[in-house]
Amino acid sequence: MKNPFLGTGIAIVTPFTKDGNVDHKALANIVEHNITNGTNYIVISGTTGESVTITGQEKQDIIATIANTNKGRLPLVLGIGGNNTANVINEINNTDLSQFAGILSVSPYYSKPTQDGIYQHFKAISLACPVSIILYNVPGRTASNMTPETILRLAKDFKNIVAVKEAGNNVSQYLNLLKNKPEGFGVISGDDDLALTVALAGGDGVISVIGQALPKAFSKMIALGMAGDAKQAYKLHFELMEITSLIFSENNPAGIKAVLQALNLCNDTVRLPLVEATDGLKQKIKDYLLNFNS
Active-site positions?
A: 136, 165
Sign of CA pseudo-dihedral 204, 206, 207, 212: negative
Burial of 158 (0-12, 13-18, 19+ CB in 10 A): middle
Length of the chain equals 294
Question: Contact at 8 Å (CB) between 32 and 71?
Answer: no
271-281 burial: b if 16+ Cβ within 10 Å, else e: eeebebbeeeb
- Measured in degrees and rounded to the nearest 5, phi and psi for residue 247 equal -70, -20
Half-sphere exposure of 174 (CA within 13 A, CB side): 26
Distances from the Cα of 175 to the Cαs of 144, 223, 264, in angstroms?
Answer: 19, 19, 38
CA 128 to CA 183: how far, in whole Å?
24
Amino acid making up residue 185: F
**φ/ψ (deg, to 5) at 265:** -100, -30
* CA distances (Å), origin 28, targets 35, 53, 247: 11, 20, 22
Distance separating alpha carbons of residues 24 and 13, to the nearest angstrom? 11
